[in-house]
């Protein structure tokens, strides 16, 4: 006997609504939910396979600990959680709080319980050696928002459904399905932009799948995004095409910025950008004259040279042309649940309040760059990481120089991982605590409404009952937090 369950997909930021057909303990088919207010029936190949994780025979179903000969053997939940807490506590007592490092991965933000309890655990540990996925892609965005708006999580989202001119820089949303832009089915949305007479302009060193759809494609040299954007501002300043009302009444710092712009005149940066000066001028003027326009940049901007400056310059262009906070421009979503308050309470906002021990790299929203993990484990001295907790992340695969990190993990005194699988990272752990798969717990939109093109909040029921002995990710994080003397009520800013 089959049944149908509506469920939000937890496999990427698009968070599409799914319609699952379930038979007993198996998902037999997955369709996009045509009634979902955000995704309206969109489904990708990854989402179509969401049920396979539930029945995957390779997924761990119970805790395991590493034996002397490198194999893993079963251990009970109580013993595993006690062991993890004891080793973390012992490290803290002997070497101090920073001797415990934490890496948390993206899946912690797809489940409201995991999001809340990973914050509580981080707060309880109080370590400055905490790392997450942000430094792989969005730190420049978070830093730019911190300096521009005084709030790292104030992230303007392009109103793709109502804009008339979409300037897309270093992003390939047709393939990525959006990053810091929760707008499922972007190919369809961009087609509709063009059908209503709008323009799609793509700036990218590579003629990407999104560039292939564009009305205009500018093949910029890598690392030149900031120069291009400042050149556009120079053109608009020279031609008096800026929104003076916004600059005079709602913004500060324009005069100072304007004094630097002549150095970025199109003819001066054209060679550096690899774009003709007249093309820079044309795009700048089109952008300013469009009835509605928005500039948006992602991975290519965030991972390139001058990334924070380029991200800041994207917003400066939106602000100076009166596109910030306007329909069809760059808008701030209004989530039903104000997660930013919790993030601030947990110290997960700000930039440069402290730095990494070895290279002096600045923190962003409370995390050090994950590229510093290996050296923080390897380098002797006070504050060296001796014990590491990884939580729903695979940094050996996702951070720069994963091979070095893999070698460093073998030098730890103790490592515990919360993860569904033995993978490139967790195979180095002394203890693995596997959560049940998402389909066994309910889920509420918590993080992605911060980046969503429409204001929605959705709740999904559990699809399956957990098997006996299975714990959800939030239950594991809660058990560990409470064994370490913390709890949700204790969330407070990390001392700077």
Interacting residue ranges for ligand SF4, rule: CB under 6 A: 9, 11-12, 14-16, 43-44, 46-47, 177, 184
Q: Where are the alpha helices (DSSP H) in 399-458?
A: 402-409
Contacts of residue 380, Cβ cutoff 8 Å, sequence gap at least 6: none
Q: Considering the complex, state which of residue 16 and residue 349 has its C-beta at the smaller distance from ligand SF4.
A: 16
Minimal distance in Å, beta carbon 191 to ligand SF4? 16
Nearest to 200 by CA among 287, 288, 318: 287
Q: Considering the complex, state which of residue 74 and residue 461 has its C-beta at the smaller distance from ligand SF4.
A: 461
CA distance 420 to 58: 9
Q: Considering the complex, state which of residue 61 and residue 187 has its C-beta at the smaller distance from ligand SF4.
A: 187
Q: Considering the complex, state which of residue 12 and residue 214 has its C-beta at the smaller distance from ligand SF4.
A: 12
Minimal distance in Å, beta carbon 49 to ligand SF4? 9
Residue ranges with strand state E in 142-281: 157-158, 165-169, 199-203, 216-218
Minimal distance in Å, beta carbon 47 to ligand SF4? 2
Residue ranges with strand state E in 304-458: 330-331, 351-355, 362-364, 387-391, 414-418, 431-433, 443-444
Q: Considering the complex, state which of residue 136 and residue 356 has its C-beta at the smaller distance from ligand SF4.
A: 136
Nearest to 297 by CA among 288, 306, 56: 306
Residues 144, 149, 150, 153: is their CA dihedral positive or negative? Answer: negative
20 forms beta bridges with 5, 30
Q: Considering the complex, state which of residue 107 and residue 266 has its C-beta at the smaller distance from ligand SF4.
A: 107
Residue ranges with strand state E in 11-123: 17-23, 26-32, 64-66, 72-74, 100-104
Minimal distance in Å, beta carbon 424 to ligand SF4? 21
The CA dihedral of 11, 13, 17, 22, to the nearest 10 degrees, is 10
Nearest-CB residue for ligand SF4: 47
Q: Considering the complex, state which of residue 47 and residue 369 has its C-beta at the smaller distance from ligand SF4.
A: 47
Q: Do residues 201 and 215 lie in contact, with contact meaning Cβ atoms separated by under 8 Å?
A: yes
Q: Considering the complex, state which of residue 132 and residue 184 has its C-beta at the smaller distance from ligand SF4.
A: 184
Q: Do residues 403 and 428 lie in contact, with contact meaning Cβ atoms separated by under 8 Å?
A: no
Minimal distance in Å, beta carbon 286 to ligand SF4? 30
Per-residue tokens: 254: 């324009």
Minimal distance in Å, beta carbon 333 to ligand SF4? 17
Residue with tokens 């034996």: 67
CA 117 distance to own-chain centroid = 18
Minimal distance in Å, beta carbon 435 to ligand SF4? 19
């Amino acid at each position: 006997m089959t049944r149908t369950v509506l469920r939000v997909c937890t496999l990427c930021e698009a968070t599409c609504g799914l319609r699952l057909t379930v038979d007993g303990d198996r998902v037999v088919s997955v369709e996009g939910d045509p009634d979902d207010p955000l995704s309206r029936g969109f489904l990708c190949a990854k989402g179509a396979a969401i049920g396979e994780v539930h029945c995957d025979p390779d997924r761990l179903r119970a805790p395991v600990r590493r034996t002397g000969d490198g194999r893993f053997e079963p251990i009970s939940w109580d013993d595993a959680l006690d062991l993890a807490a004891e080793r973390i506590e012992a490290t803290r007592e002997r070497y101090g709080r920073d001797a415990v490092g934490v890496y948390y991965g993206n899946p912690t933000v797809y489940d409201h319980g995991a999001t809340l309890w990973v914050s509580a655990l981080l707060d309880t540990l109080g370590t400055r050696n905490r790392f997450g996925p942000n430094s792989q892609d969005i730190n420049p965005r978070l830093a730019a928002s911190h300096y521009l708006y005084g709030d790292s999580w104030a992230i303007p989202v392009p109103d793709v459904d109502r804009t008339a001119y979409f300037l897309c820089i270093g992003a390939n949303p047709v393939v990525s399905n959006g990053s810091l832009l929760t707008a499922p089915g972007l190919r369809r949305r961009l087609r509709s932009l063009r059908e209503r007479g709008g323009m799609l302009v793509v700036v990218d060193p590579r003629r990407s799948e999104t560039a292939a759809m564009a009305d205009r494609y500018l093949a910029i040299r890598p690392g030149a995004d900031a120069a291009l954007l400042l050149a556009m501002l120079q053109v608009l300043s020279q031609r008096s095409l800026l929104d003076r009302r916004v600059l005079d009444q709602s913004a500060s710092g324009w005069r100072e910025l304007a004094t630097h712009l002549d150095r970025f005149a199109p003819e001066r940066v054209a060679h550096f950008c690899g774009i003709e000066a007249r093309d820079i001028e044309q795009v700048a003027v089109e952008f300013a004259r469009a009835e509605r326009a928005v500039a948006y940049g992602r991975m290519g901007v965030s991972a390139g040279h001058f990334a924070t400056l380029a991200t800041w310059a994207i917003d400066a262009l939106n602000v100076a042309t009166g596109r910030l906070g306007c329909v069809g421009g760059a808008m701030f979503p209004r989530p039903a649940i104000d997660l930013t308050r919790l993030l601030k309470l947990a110290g997960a906002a700000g930039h440069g309040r402290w730095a990494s021990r070895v290279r002096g790299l600045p923190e962003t929203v409370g995390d050090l760059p994950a590229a510093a993990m290996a050296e923080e484990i390897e380098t002797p001295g006070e504050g060296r990481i001796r014990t590491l907790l990884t939580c729903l992340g695979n940094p050996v695969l996702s951070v720069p120089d994963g091979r070095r990190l893999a070698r460093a993990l073998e030098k730890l005194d103790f490592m515990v991982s919360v993860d569904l699988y033995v993978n490139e990272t967790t195979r180095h752990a002394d203890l693995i605590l596997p959560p049940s798969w998402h389909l066994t717990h309910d889920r509420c939109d918590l993080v992605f409404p911060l980046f969503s093109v429409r204001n929605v909040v959705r709740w999904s029921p559990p699809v399956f009952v957990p098997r006996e002995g299975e714990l959800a990710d939030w239950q594991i994080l809660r058990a560990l937090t409470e064994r370490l003397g913390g709890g949700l009520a204790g969330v407070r800013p990390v001392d700077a």
